[in-house]
């Protein structure tokens, strides 16, 4: 069901981009918007992992430097039949983690120093299983595509705003037939907000799916539930120096903008909802 919802939301983003480009600048605008999306997706596909790791300050670690982390990762990769991803540690006190990479063969898992210090073995296993589930389900690729499509829509709308300021919406023929100017104006206002909400919806669906898949990988929910509770508590107390563009990658959102905004515009579902879903999850061994 989560996969179906994600597919529908990605389709909605694509349609929004095509219709937005058409309404704002006619057929040429649609072509430009699609070309922009292709270029941005190519960049995200090949370079998003390097950008995320560099932005977080993650440093590669060897087996000798992090034996417990390697042991957990190797055990879970064996269970899930996944190649061992590259391992990184982020020198920050707040506990958190993320996975990145375009596919299981080019994946990396990064954890903070605080996570290694504060998590028990069961909790660490739950966190790593969650991140490996993102890798196995190609969630990083999915969310990168969603982000770049949303970015393309916002860019098209911005160009449309400048076009209207300097004397036109880009499609005089549509205006002559009536309604073109109004549709362009609506797209300028509605499209970026709609794109953002759809992108956030995709991200939240993938978090629920990774929680469930991670628990099934481990075989029991208690470790991840305890980890999420601890992550929520510590990330309210210890700030992280994280760029907003990479905050969505983490297992819990390191940034918050207040109850209403964080609920509506957060890339992550509320922790209490995730924990409730895990408590109700039936795990068969």
Average pLDDT of the residues of the chain? 78
Of 64, 131, 158, 207, the catalytic one is 131
Paired tokens of 263? 């609920």
Paired tokens of 166? 């300097």
Decide which of 10 and 214 is more confident.
214
* Interstrand relation of 86-90 and 108-112 (parallel, antiparallel or unpaired): parallel
Residues of the chain with pLDDT > 70, as a percent, come to: 60
DSSP character for 248? Answer: G
- The reported pLDDT for the residue numbered 16 is 62
pLDDT at 178 over 60: no
131 noted as active-site residue: yes
How crowded is residue 252: how many other Cβ atoms within 10 Å of its Cβ? 22
Kindly give, in sequence order, each residue whose CB lies less than 8 Å from that of residue 47, ignoring residues fewer than 6 positions away. Answer: none
Distances (CA, A) of 197 to 13, 117, 130, 150: 10, 35, 24, 9
pLDDT digits (tens, 9 = 90+) for 224-259: 999 999 999 998 888 888 876 677 789 998 854 344
Contact 71, 84 (CB under 8 A): no
Decide which of 281 and 166 is more confident.
281
- The reported pLDDT for the residue numbered 267 is 73
What is the distance between the alpha carbons of residues 1 and 259, in angstroms, rounded to a whole number? 28
For the chain, count helices (H), then strands (E): 10, 4
- The reported pLDDT for the residue numbered 279 is 95
Residue 262 pLDDT class (50, 70, 90 cuts): very low
pLDDT at 102 over 60: yes
Q: Which long-range contacts (CB under 8 A, 24 or more apart) does 229-234 make?
A: 229/271, 229/275, 230/95, 230/118, 230/119, 230/123, 231/95, 231/96, 231/127, 231/271, 232/271, 234/94, 234/95, 234/114, 234/118
What does the pLDDT average to over 56-73?
95
pLDDT digits (tens, 9 = 90+) for 15-57: 666 666 665 556 666 666 667 666 766 777 778 788 889 989 9
Distances (CA, A) of 255 to 236, 239, 265: 9, 8, 12
What does the DSSP assignment read for 206-242?
HHHHHHHHHHHHHT-SHHHHHHHHHHHHHHHHS----
Kindly give, in sequence order, each residue whose CB lies less than 8 Å from that of residue 95, ignoring residues fewer than 6 positions away. Answer: 112, 114, 115, 117, 118, 119, 230, 231, 234, 235
Q: What is the pTM of this model?
A: 0.74
Distances (CA, A) of 243 to 40, 51, 176: 19, 11, 45
pLDDT digits (tens, 9 = 90+) for 181-196: 555 555 556 666 666 6
Closest alpha carbon to 217 in 138, 123, 108, 129 = 129
């Amino acid at each position: 069901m989560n996969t179906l919802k994600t597919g529908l939301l990605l389709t909605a983003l694509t349609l929004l981009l095509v219709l937005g480009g058409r309404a704002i600048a006619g057929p040429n605008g649609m072509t430009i918007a699609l070309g922009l999306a292709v270029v941005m997706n190519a960049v995200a596909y090949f370079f998003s992992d390097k950008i995320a790791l560099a932005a977080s300050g993650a440093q590669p670690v060897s087996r000798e430097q992090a034996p417990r982390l390697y042991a957990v990762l190797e055990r879970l990769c064996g269970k899930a039949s996944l190649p061992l991803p590259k391992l990184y540690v982020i020198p920050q006190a707040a506990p958190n983690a993320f996975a990145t990479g375009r596919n299981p063969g080019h994946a990396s898992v990064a954890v903070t120093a605080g996570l290694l210090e504060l998590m028990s073995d069961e909790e660490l296993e739950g966190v790593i299983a969650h991140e490996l589930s993102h890798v196995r389900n190609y969630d990083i690729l999915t969310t990168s595509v969603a982000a770049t499509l949303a970015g393309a829509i916002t860019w098209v709308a911005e160009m449309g705003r400048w076009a209207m300021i300097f004397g036109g919406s880009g499609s005089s023929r549509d205006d002559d037939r009536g309604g073109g100017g109004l549709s362009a104006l609506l797209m300028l206002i509605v499209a970026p907000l709609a794109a953002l909400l759809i992108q956030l919806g995709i991200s939240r669906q993938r978090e629920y799916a990774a929680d469930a898949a991670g628990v099934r990988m481990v075989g029991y929910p208690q470790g991840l539930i305890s980890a999420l509770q601890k992550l929520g508590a510590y990330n309210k107390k210890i700030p992280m120096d994280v760029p907003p563009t990479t905050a969505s990658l983490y297992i819990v959102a390191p940034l918050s903008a207040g109850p209403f905004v964080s609920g509506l515009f957060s890339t992550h579902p509320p922790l209490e909802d995730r924990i409730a879903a895990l408590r109700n999850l039936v795990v068969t061994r």
